[in-house]
Structure 1
Amino acid sequence: MSLLSSLYPGALMVVGASADPTKRGFQSVRALLRDGFQGAIYPINPKLTELQGLVCYPDIQSVPGQPELALICTPAISLPDVLQQCGLKGVQTAIVLASGFAESGSEGEALQQQSLAVAQRYGVRLIGPNTSGVFNTHARMNLVGFSDLHAGPLGILSQSGNMALSLVTEGSQQLHSGFSSYIGVGNAADLGFHDYLDYFAADQGTGALVAYLEGLTDGRAFLQAARRFTARKPLVLYKSGKSESGQKAARSHTGALAGSYQVARGVMRQAGVVLVEQPDHLLPVAEALATQPLPQGRRIAILADGGGHATIAADALDALGLTLAELSPTTQDGLKALLPRGAAVSNPVDVAGGTDSDPLNFARCAELLLQDPGVDQLLLVGLFGGYALRFDVSLADAERLTAVQLAELARMASKPLLVHSLYALSRPKPLQQLVEQGIPVYAGIDAAVAALKALADYAAYRQRGEQDDLLTGQGEASLRAARLLTGVRQQGRTALLEPEARQLLGTFEVPLPEACWLQTPDELQQLDGQWLEQPLAMKVVSRDVLHKSDAGGVKLNLLGLAALQRGWQQIEQQVLSHQPEARLEGMLLAPMASAPGTEVIIGVTHDSQYGHLLMFGLGGIFVEVLKDVVFRALPLSRADAWDMLAGIQSARVLEGVRGQPPVDKQALVELLLKVSALVVAHPEIEELDLNPVRCHREGYTLLDARVLLATAASGAMSAAGAEATGMAELADGVQRLH
């Protein structure tokens, strides 16, 4: 709330005001006066008594009253002293423009920390340092110096000043609805991305937020703030640093870590963030989300005045997973009555010249399409808005009336209407009227279709219920798991043996195939007929061998006592040849999985930015070759789990292909939720791999499990683990599996 009041200030100071028109200390004062800022402006410079008609003060303490906001234009080295003076004056927030802090090396990092300590001592919040500034059009406060700003619903949050300038310039050159506030994040020494999300969520002037992100220092806080934000408003984000070279550039630019783009894509989708793949889609997508009602589904109708644009639009819809709406017979009959004989009236609808002499036919056709219950969104493509320019000036009035009617029809239907026009960059009056009435206009079909997809995706996110969707690891199950993990810790180990990993999963009721752990080859002779009369898999049990196959620690299809004895001997020889120091703790026997199925991988890892992440994808050999996996942050909701199954590129494989039966998706979802509950209850688990999990028409077979604990137990031990520590029964360790 202090940030909200600071960016709607009753008074502000420009510390380091200047008479030089090339300096920010001059430009900011000029912009405030030009735009009609209603609050008090206090320029501060000991060498000036007047600046642009304003009284100039020699120092901060000379300023009358108590300004909420300070724009600091002085060099980096002066910042600690300036912040102290701001604190003594009661300033709430300081915007620090100077560079030369953490982004510049160790000395700059030390200066940044010193400045932050002063700010925290006096209760001053910092925007920056190394920020391009802030504007708030609704408060007529432009502290960046951008020109051609007009008030509207789009907020901008950016780690790059040039990206913000690019967005503002794009907006001034094209038809758009206007901006609310902009904040340049800079080094985020104090206030970070997540803090600003809370500001934009509370700001009544912001309807949707456009964000440019390079890296995060606190990914968990960002995700929590993003969930709060997207529950109220759309957040459209472009994440740079997709490649290794891009990640290096991001680190040198802001001092932040970019992290894995694949991970970022998954966790941001989970938080309801609309992640665009192209930076030039930021504004088009945000325009739609800020101005249009949310659709009921993904069914799109296309209304075109040319077959080429109609086909291009249909291809773009299909590429992004949207659906061409199936028009009702009533709608098609109505279109036939309006259009020439050669018109296409299914979908896409091609008016075939039916609007060339009467643009109002667009509105009549749009009315039929918007009223069709099978249509969720309407896209108009072609040259609307340019009829008077293309054909004859006498069509201008009809086009302007058509624009008014289109906007009214969309409001009445409460369905999104987006318009693509060849003449968008020419900004003719009919297209200006559409934008003024809340209908987005696009110069490119791809951008328009990206906006349609964003509307459908965000609507689905808002519609899905997440109440009571989380499985939690409570009670006796978690206590049993904690006893097991504490026993492993007491033996000085961080890697669970596979039998222990199986037992751990069993405490959370994960169904497991039968298995037998033998510690010496002599125990083979004690096996009964059940084990000797079926083909078995034999796997080495060793705290030192994490990848059994690579070390020769797996033998398959062993039938009978003699084969088992030979297999044991061969595994011992191969493993010790591969790892001479490996400690062998027996063999795990399990019946060969005879039922065919689709193999998937489920894994958990701990990410430095986002915390524990759950991974799902095709397993077995495919995980290394295709890398077709998706990530979500824990805890996982049921909706998240279903979304993961649909999110891999090979999702159709789960439906059954080439004679394979479809997999039991419900069972997979339950497995994902149980793994999530286990790790959330026991955050000391740093890595968990279930690969492969063979999925069948009913249920699944878990063929291998691996669990690693964090190196340091302190701070990561679960509550149940702490409770279980010291229990007498732990002295005996983990019981053998039989």
Structure 2
Amino acid sequence: MRTGRIPVGHYLNALFAPKSVAIIGVSASSRRSGNVFLDRLRKNGFEGRAYAVGRNGGVVDGEQIYRSVADLPEVPDLVFGAVGAQATPQAMIDAAKAGVQVGIVFTAGFAEMSSDGAEVQRDMVARCNELGMRVVGPNCMGVFSTGSRMNLTDVESLDPGPIGFASQSGNIALSVFDVAKRHDLGFQTFVSFGNQADIPVADYVEHMAQDDAVEIILLYLESLQENVGPDFIARCRAVAARKPIVAIKGGVTDAGRRAAASHTSRLSAAEDIYDAAFEQAGIVQVRDLDHVVAVVEALLRCPPMKGGNVAIVGSGGGHSTVGTDAVERAGLTVPAFDQELKDTFGGYLPPWAPMSNPVDMTGGFTEDLTLFQTLMRYPLSKPEFHGGLSYGLYGEGWRPGLVDDNGLTFRTAAPLFAALQRELGKPIVFYTPFAKDFEESFSEMRRSGVPCYGSLAEAAAGLAALQKRGAFLARLDGLQRTEPDPRQPGAGSGFTLTEHESLQKIAAAGVPAVRQELVSSAEEAVAAADAMGYPVVLKAQLTDVAHKSDVNGVRLGLTTADEVAAAFQQMSSIPGAGGAVDCTVSQQITGDRELLLGIRKDVTFGHTVVIGVGGVLTEVAARVAVLIPPLDAAEFAAAIERSPVAAYLGAWRGRPAVDLQELHRQVTALHEMCRADESVESVDINPLMAVGSDLRAADAAVVLESEPARGVHDVR
């Protein structure tokens, strides 16, 4: 019996390229699921040895059915479990005892069903891991590998191609398979991982990245395992530097997260955290399932875009208008052409043809099918344009048997787009409504290297993905690659320190705070204000109130000793204060703007940072940047620049820009504090006052896992 963890590369080779496979759940007397998978494995030409295992033994299709994996003439690399949920755990453990490297649990009925099922799942995986076997699933669709001609999935066959696909959902995978066929795309490797009880997604990503036949990696995720977020980001970013990764995230709304939890047994992290994770990892995120394959096609066939300016050249006024809308809705721009370009187009088109971007050639291409490429060459030859959308009623579905004046047909003219793309190094995508159906001219265009879409929204999504890919590759230059934090967070019950305690704690960590004194009487408050200088701010120190101002626990602009004393007396009567409340006296400072800076633990991604509009506008403005440390200064600045708060942090109306170097220093200091003190669950600084290049905390709340032990003379 072998025990211990198997190296990643070794066990994934056993999963995707096994020399032998055993199907558990085969019957001689009925057509059970195991029989179906065994037939499929053999009919697809699996190059290794396939064994049938069933508790009753017998013969199926002339081959022996073994009663257990231990009875096989050799130890298989991979077992596929297609027996009931009650029989599955022991079947997997027996396979692990026999020395099998990887087991696939096709069966449902575990953590996605109940807490009892989750416990059974945990025990099964733990025991298999102790014996040296890794587990795919449970509740999964199986695995496919073109290289080993292995098909252990719910589909009869898959078209071969350059996509590596890892999906948490089998039904989503079926949808993608169907659409990919219409885009002339196929798959090199596929795995459905269901409940994700054992193997982390990043392992699949890294393995697919090492396969030269995989040119792009596609992920469907509903959640990640706990505490793997930083590792997922770091490993995916290393892969994305070499190969594109596309992901669609299920479970981003409240209802969607509930559905994902019931489906995959794990509650998804908040949408903005996953957005930040994908952005930092260089993963191109797609929000619309209908656009996933379109994005994959663009990233496979086209060079990345080095900017966001798109030239639109084709035939058809309505399509040109809708196409422009689609491109700009996707976050790209369609700048007007200059007079030089308009004059150039005028040499080819009638004077009434629109030529300002978009260009509508008004049907003239029927005599000259090269006109699409000829006209697109001019704007894409200029440095200010980064990609092109061509469009028109192209294809046999509109003009069957068309031959232009050059002797070209729709099929023979199609590769001209790709030649222009290769020459200029800029992406071109094509739209025709007829591309929703199969036609050899569209396949020819795709095979030559240009995506051909039957939807303008898909075309726009493809271009937007190319721009995201180009921006990520540009960011990689000069960025220091940081290692993930090996120390992962836990969870706690939550005890909030007072404002004064919180400011002291963050100040000790390196985040400057306003000058502040803790006082217990009106006389102490007046003395502190006199020493500090007016105006001052008086705040009640309350631990169970989210907004002190809501209960009259904050008084601003106090300019005299009498005002300070009166304010202290009023705060002593706050409901729940019992006539005795500690207060702080602080300097009142006026800044150029107020920021929100927060850091908190996330069960998947570790510590996450939120930077946004602060002060009383925080809940109204609702504009934030979400980041996942560690980030070096360049990565931090780039993340802020592409975030919704970029303009707020920049220079405006005579106010200087926020010093991003100092902000990065403070974020790093808070992150280090949280790493060093695992009892810290979250830190919220609001507002963080920006005064020139100075950033100073005026209020803060630090939440600990539990209430700290206090001495009689503790400074609070």
The match for 2:658 among 664, 677, 681 is 664
CA distance in 2, matches of 1:22, 1:76: 18
* Counterpart-to-counterpart distance in 2, 1:584 and 1:471: 46
Query: 2: CA distance between counterparts of 1:528 and 1:614?
Result: 34
Q: Mean Cα displacement is larger for which, 701-710 or 96-105?
A: 701-710
1:319 Cα offset (Å): 2.2
Aligned to 1:721: none
Alignment correspondent of 1:429: 440
Query: Paired residue for 1:487?
Result: none
Question: 2:630 aligned to 628, 635, 645, which one?
Answer: 635
Q: Write the deviation string for residues 198-256 of structure 1: whole angstroms up to 9, x where unpaired.
A: 32233333222222222233242433443343333222222222232222222222211
Q: Distance in 2 between matches of 1:392 and 1:118?
A: 65
- Structure 1 SS opposite 2:433: coil
Structure 2 equivalent of residue 414 of structure 1: 425
Deviation, 1:423, is 0.9
SS at match of 2:555: strand
Find the aligned partners of 2:194 and 2:40 in 1 and give their Cα distance. Answer: 21
Give deviations 1:131-173, integer Å, cap 9, x for gaps.
Answer: 111111232211114145211122222221111111112223x
Identify if the C-alpha distance between structure 1 residues 398 and 390 changes in structure 2 by more than 3 Å, giving closer, same or farther.
closer
Residue in 1 that maps onto 2:4: none
Residue matched to 2:414: 403
In the TM superposition, what whole-angstrom CA distance separates every residue of 1:372-417 from its partner, at most 9, and x where no partner exists?
Answer: 222222222232334x733753359432232112112212322222
Aligned with 1:223: secondary structure?
Answer: helix
In structure 1, the partner of 2:596 is 601
Taking structure 2 as the reference length, what is the TM-score of the superposition?
0.87
1:676 positional shift:
3.6
State the shift of 1:29 in Å: 2.8
Verify the 8 A CA contact 1:568 1:587 in the aligned structure 2.
no
* Aligned residues of 1:470 and 1:638 also touching (Cα < 8 A): no
Q: Is the 8 A contact 2:431 2:459 kept in 1?
A: yes
Bigger drift between 256-265 and 429-438 goes to 256-265
Task: Work out the CA distance in 1 between the residues paired with 2:29 and 2:426.
Answer: 52
Q: Does 1:196 align with 2:201?
A: no
Aligned residues of 2:183 and 2:297 also touching (Cα < 8 A): no
Q: What percent of counterpart residues are identical?
A: 29
Compared CA separation, residues 75 and 470, structure 1 to 2 (3 A): closer
Name the amino acid aligned to 1:635. Answer: P
Query: Counterparts of 1:344 and 1:599 in 2: how far apart (Å)?
Result: 48
- 3-state DSSP of counterpart to 1:139: coil
Change (3 A) 1:175 1:538: same
Structure 1 residue runs without a partner (length 5+): 474-492, 715-729
Which has the higher mean CA deviation after the structures are superposed, 189-198 or 331-340?
A: 331-340
Counterpart CA distance in 2 for 1:313 and 1:4 is: 45
Shift in Å, 1:515: 3.8
For 1:555-574, what per-residue CA distance to the aligned partner results, in whole angstroms no more than 9, with x for missing partners?
Answer: 11111111111122112222
Residues 83, 118 of structure 1: 8 Å contact kept: no
Change (3 A) 1:470 1:89: closer
Cα distance in structure 1, aligned partners of 2:510 and 2:673: 10
Match of 2:327 among 305, 313, 317: 317
Moved more, 296-305 or 43-52: 43-52
2:518 and 2:582 in contact (8 A); partners too: no
| 1:261-318 superposed Cα distances (whole Å, 9 cap, x missing partner) | 2322223222222222211122111222233222222222212212222222222222
Secondary structure of the residue aligned to 1:706 is strand
The match for 2:152 is 143
* SS, match of residue 236 in structure 2: helix
Measure how far apart 1:328 and its partner are. Answer: 6.5
User: In 1, are the aligned partners of 2:27 and 2:56 still within 8 Å (CA)?
Assistant: no
Tell me which residue corresponds to 2:51. 42
Q: What is the match of residue 237 of structure 1?
A: 247
Partners of 1:710 and 1:411 in 2: how far apart? 57
Distance change (3 Å), C-alpha of 1:410 and 1:244: same
TM superposition shift of 1:694: 4.1
Structure 1 equivalent of residue 286 of structure 2: 276
Post-superposition CA distance 1:545-599 (Å, at most 9, x none): 664323422111111111111122112222xx24339x734422212x345x443
Asked if the contact 1:367–1:409 (Cα under 8 Å) also holds between the matched residues in 2, the reply is yes
Residues 266 and 632, structure 1, Cα contact 8 Å, conserved in 2: yes
Tell whether 2:35 aligns with 1:26. yes
Paired residues of 2:248 and 2:287 also in contact (CA < 8 A) = yes
Given candidates 292, 298, 304, the residue that maps to 1:294 is: 304
Q: Is the 8 A contact 2:294 2:459 kept in 1?
A: yes
Contact 1:263–1:630 (8 Å) recurs in 2: no
How much does 1:682 deviate? 4.1
> Aligned AA for 1:129?
P
**Which residue identity lines up with residue 691 of structure 1 in the other structure?**
N
C-alpha distance in 1 between matches for 2:69 and 2:254: 45
> Which residue number in structure 1 is paired with residue 84 of structure 2?
75
- Pair 110,622 (structure 1): closer, same or farther in 2 beyond 3 Å: same
Structure 2: distance between partners of 1:609 and 1:60: 36
Alignment of 1:112-511 (within 5 A): 112-147=121-156, 149-172=158-181, 174-218=182-226, 219-220=228-229, 221-324=231-334, 327=337, 332-386=342-396, 389-390=398-399, 393-395=402-404, 397-465=408-476, 467-468=479-480, 495-511=496-512
Contact 2:539 / 2:553 at 8 angstroms: preserved in 1?
A: yes
Q: Is the 8 A contact 1:177 1:435 kept in 2?
A: no
Corresponding residue number in structure 1 for 2:524? 523
Structure 2 contact 80–103 (Cα < 8 Å) conserved: yes
**Does the 8 Å CA contact 1:469/1:638 hold for their aligned counterparts?**
no
The alignment covers a number of residue pairs equal to 693
Report what 2:685 is aligned to.
690
Q: For the residues of structure 2 that align with 1:34 and 1:168, how far apart are their CA atoms?
A: 19
TM-score, L = length of structure 1: 0.85
In 1, Cα distance between equivalents of 2:300 and 2:641: 27
Equivalent AA in structure 1 for residue 380 of structure 2: L
1:523 & 1:41 partners in 2: Cα distance?
84
* 2:625–2:644 contact (8 Å) kept in structure 1: no
CA distance in 2, matches of 1:497, 1:153: 57
- 1:405 partner letter: L
Q: Which amino acid aligns with 1:588?
A: V
Task: Give the AA of the match of 2:614.
Answer: G
Report the aligned-residue RMSD. Answer: 3.3
Shift of 1:679: 3.4
> Structure 1 245/509 Cα, relative in aligned 2: closer, same or farther at 3 Å?
closer
Residue 102 of structure 1: aligned partner: 111
SS of the residue 1:549 aligns to: helix
Preserved contact between residue 514 and residue 586 of structure 2 (Cα < 8 Å): no
Picking from 615, 621, 625, the partner of 1:620 is 615
Distance 2:176 2:64 in 1: 35
Per-residue deviation, 1:126: 0.9
Cα 1:619–1:287, aligned 2, differ >3 Å: closer, same or farther?
Answer: same
Q: Distance in 1 between matches of 2:656 and 2:380?
A: 37
Between 463-472 and 53-62, the greater mean CA deviation after superposition: 463-472
- Residue 72 (structure 2) aligns with: 63
Note closer, same or farther for the CA distance 1:731–1:529 as it changes in structure 2 (3 Å cut). Answer: closer
- Of residues 127-136 and 367-376 in structure 1, the stretch that sits farther from structure 2 once superposed is 367-376
Structure 2 spans left out of the alignment, 5+ residues: 1-8, 486-493
Letter in 1 for 2:617: F
Q: Secondary structure at the match of 1:264?
A: helix
Amino acid at match of 1:579: A
Name the SS for the 1:344 alignment partner. Answer: coil
Deviation at 1:362, TM superposition (A): 1.3
SS of aligned partner of 1:313: helix
